[in-house]
Amino acid sequence: MTFQQDLFQGKTAVVTGGTQGIGAGIARQLAALGARVIAAGLAPTDAQRNALGADIEVAALDVGSNDEVAALFAPLASLDILVNCAGMIRRVEEHQLDVFEQVINVNLTGTMRACSAARALLGKSRGTIVNTASMLSFFGGGLVPAYSASKGGVAQLTKSLALAYAQDGIRVNAVAPGWIATPLTQALQDDEGRSQAILERTPLGRWGEPEDVAQAVVFLCSPAAAFITGTIVPVDGGYLVA
């Protein structure tokens, strides 16, 4: 255990996109450190609920819906941590304008929806937000124009909200995961040629795990990061600088 086990005792955290992949890893880590965690995801399955464990509350959420986002936060008496992990990718289909708009609505506008809905609660606790950017916040992706644009937007949104929310005592940062072993990247993991190319460019020589990202999120939410806001932290095994 890297962190003190009761680090977030008495704290409440919401993790959007928290029922699978990176979001689930973050939800489990926050819960392990004492937080009450609400993992919100699109149509969560019994398997996802079981994988998260009984200590984590699971809620259905479409971050593309203003009403559903507002309804998630309305019953909460307090909130200390918001982690925005909900996202989608459609690869080549993103060149179609309707698909492009859908991806932007979920990845970028969905992040803004959650931040806006949580702001008043986080202001009361002087809480923190961690958004999920990407390596594609820093360079383009020809097959994923919407995903790349949305993640570039998340990086700039993070910086902008860090400025806007500082008056409320809210810190806003982001992590930028590299190649993480999740269902979203399973096809690439299974493609021997693509996987080998990724590993050859990654100085640490392995796929990342959701827990690698979760540890960075915990740091950004902790008192150790009390003077850090507006940052984008790559969690990529060195891929970005290779």
Amino acid at 139: F
**Inter-residue contact 19 to 48 (CB < 8 Å):** yes
Tokens representing residue 108 in the block? 């970028």
Sign of CA dihedral 180, 184, 188, 189: positive
CA dihedral 40, 46, 51, 52 (to 10 degrees): 30
**Inter-residue contact 87 to 106 (CB < 8 Å):** yes
Catalytic residue numbers read 147
H/E run at residue 40? strand 36-41
Those residues with Cβ within 8 angstroms of residue 165's Cβ, 6 or more apart along the chain or in another chain: 115, 119, 122, 123, 129, 171, 172
**Inter-residue contact 232 to 155 (CB < 8 Å):** yes
